[in-house]
Structure 1
Amino acid sequence: MEVRIVKTDQEKQDAYSVRRKVFMEEQGVTEEEEHDGLDEVAVHFVGYEEDKPVAAARLRVMDDYGKLERICVLEEYRGSSFGKQIILEMEEHVQKEGRDQSKLNAQTRAEGFYQSLGYETISGEFMDANIPHVTMEKNFR
């Protein structure tokens, strides 16, 4: 998979199409919850497999950490390490921005996946878009 930082309108639409399929169509997240007004202040990533958009995510660089958000892979491509690949690209970007930590709100069913990438759970379970989540963080130093 080739991961790109979104630079064109087409790449942004490709990222949104993956997010729509995963979050809205597959998981039942509403349009209002998915488009929360933060897309304009985020760096977007999209992953392509043979020119087809198959993964997407967004990153917001905060004062002292990077916030990894909207990480998703199309169902038929899961288990191919594409999620790991896009997260590693995001973490590299966070470090290039001079931050030593990344945080994310993980769906509880993906908590083990993020733990395998070095993330630690730092919160109790909470609901977001009617889906159970936990907050996780990873320190780079």
Structure 2
Amino acid sequence: MELNKEGSDDEVYFKFLDAHSFYFHDPAGNVVEIIARNAYSTENESFTIDDLITISEMNLTVDDVFSEGEKLLSHGFDFLGEGPLDADTLNFIGEQEAYFLLGPQGRTWFFSHHVSDIFPVKVELSGGKTVRVDEEGVLYVSENPQT
């Protein structure tokens, strides 16, 4: 496995997360990101599988970032960025430890030539909500009655 690069860089620092990320392609060609958050640093000298704690973000590519973002916000999710939702880039919505990346079709992924596209996805959250995006890029939020 090779790390994805932009020029000579193979990692990026996100100031608002206080975290470094690196990227690679999985065997199916998907872009995978590993985030090292400084708040969760260990005393290990090298990175191992034991350092993976959780899934901290999930991308949701949608047709209309504004309307679909408002759905998430109206269901109690927090906007983690500065200013309003941005239709041209990624919007971080959720909690600092776990959030959705909400963005438009056609955006090029960091450290890749892959362009975002809409794919159906369903995420069941431990707090009792389900977030789903259909094949048209429409987002749905529902409460799970059994939780």
TM-score (norm 2): 0.25
Q: Select the structure that is richer in helix.
A: 1
TM-score (norm 1): 0.26
